[in-house]
């Protein structure tokens, strides 16, 4: 199994790393520490399905990060531009106990996958979902088999999908805290939107407002179409009248010209001198 850092050093000369935008290291059987801080213009990184134990990053451009299915104990995201990251998948690692505040500054995240789907690896996230309340673009969230225990009401209204199942076996028959959230969502078939409609009055108000605005927009569109139709018909009528007026004016001008021509001809005839007759014998 190759060492992760040696693999990078062999394939990416230091002077070329600043030009690398995308790095695909998935399924390379890499192990150990991986320092990618010299790839400071990196936009996409996939190093999933390896045995990496420590990952260091530094980039102002990174918007996609998948380091799932590794053996990470810690992950430092503070050297990233929080406004750029939109996709983060760190599921199925062995991250030490921490709450979700490490994600609170990533306000443009659309996908956040931090849970586990195996009992062999476990990300020990604890506490509440409240740190995610300002992630207003978040659409997909996975906290399966974690110890997140509350805070459904803090989730942003942009969220359309949440996975929070609990099938991890724990010693002493202890249950994972996310089962509290599971119990809350289960009657709604785990559809966060349906749950929110019953438990968050502000969400209902927002939906009503959005519906009213949409109806108003459709009404205005209909009025605009009617006005455009009336304007089109009016323009067509004006066009026809202008054509008729032009035709009438042309006819009148032709008549006038014809009369003038006849009058001039008559005048010319009148001016012709008739020679006198010669009566001499």
Mean per-residue pLDDT of the chain = 85
Top-confidence residue, 268 or 111: 111
Q: Is there a single domain that holds both residue 222 and residue 96?
A: no
Specify the CATH number for the domain of residue 27: 3.80.10.10
Q: According to the model, what pLDDT value does residue 239 have?
A: 76
Q: What is the pLDDT of residues 117-128, one digit of tens each?
A: 877 888 999 999
Q: Is there a single domain that holds both residue 125 and residue 246?
A: no
| % of the chain beyond a pLDDT of 70 | 79
Q: What is the mean pLDDT of residues 222-247?
A: 80
User: Has residue 185 been placed in a domain?
Assistant: yes
Q: Is there a single domain that holds both residue 84 and residue 106?
A: yes
User: Has residue 269 been placed in a domain?
Assistant: no
Q: How many domains does the chain have?
A: 2
Domain boundary among 200, 232, 256: 200
Structure tokens at 45: 């990184």
Residue 91 CB neighbours (<10 A): 27
Q: Is there a single domain that holds both residue 147 and residue 239?
A: no
Give the DSSP letter of residue 186: G
User: Has residue 209 been placed in a domain?
Assistant: yes
Q: Give the structural domain span for 233.
A: 201-264
Q: Is there a single domain that holds both residue 189 and residue 211?
A: no
Q: Strand pairing partners for 35?
A: 56
129 CB-contact burial (10 Å; exposed 0-12 / middle 13-18 / buried 19+): buried
Q: What is the pLDDT of residues 145-204, one digit of tens each?
A: 999 989 998 999 999 999 998 876 554 445 455 578 888 899 999 899 889 888 876 665
Cα dihedral value 138, 143, 147, 148, nearest 10: 20
- Strand 147-150 to 31-35 pairing: unpaired
Q: Is there a single domain that holds both residue 228 and residue 99?
A: no
From CA 245, how far away is CA 97, in angstroms rounded?
87
Cα angle vertex 180, ends 177, 184, to 5°? 155
Q: Is there a single domain that holds both residue 225 and residue 191?
A: no
Q: Is there a single domain that holds both residue 155 and residue 229?
A: no
User: Has residue 107 been placed in a domain?
Assistant: yes
Taken in order 200, 98, 32, 166, the sign of the CA dihedral is: negative
CB 62 within 8 A of CB 81: yes
């Amino acid at each position: 199994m190759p060492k992760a850092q040696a693999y990078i050093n062999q394939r990416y000369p230091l002077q070329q790393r600043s030009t690398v935008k995308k790095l695909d290291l998935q399924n390379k059987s890499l192990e150990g520490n991986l320092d990618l801080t010299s790839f400071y213009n990196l936009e996409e990184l996939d190093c999933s399905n390896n045995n990496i134990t420590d990952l260091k990053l530094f980039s102002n451009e990174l918007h996609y990060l998948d380091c799932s299915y590794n053996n990470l104990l810690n992950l430092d995201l503070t050297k990233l531009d929080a406004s750029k990251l939109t996709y983060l998948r760190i599921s199925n690692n062995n991250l030490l106990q921490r709450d979700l505040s490490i994600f609170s500054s990533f306000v443009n995240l659309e996908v956040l996958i931090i849970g586990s789907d195996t009992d062999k690896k476990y990300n020990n996230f604890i506490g509440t979902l409240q740190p995610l309340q300002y992630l207003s673009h978040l659409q997909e969230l996975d906290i399966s088999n974690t110890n997140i225990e509350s805070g459904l009401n803090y989730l942003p209204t942009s969220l359309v999908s949440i996975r929070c199942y609990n099938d991890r076996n724990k010693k002493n028959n202890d249950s994972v805290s996310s089962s509290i959230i599971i119990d809350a969502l289960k009657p709604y078939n785990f559809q966060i939107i349906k749950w929110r409609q019953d438990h968050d009055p502000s969400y209902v108000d927002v939906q009503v407002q959005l519906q009213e605005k949409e109806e108003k927009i459709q009404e205005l569109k209909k009025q605009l179409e009617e006005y455009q139709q009336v304007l089109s018909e009016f323009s067509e009528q004006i066009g026809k009248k202008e054509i008729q007026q032009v035709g009438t004016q042309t006819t009148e001008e032709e008549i006038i010209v014809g009369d003038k021509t006849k009058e001039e001809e008559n005048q010319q005839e009148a001016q012709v001198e008739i020679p006198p007759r010669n009566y001499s014998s």
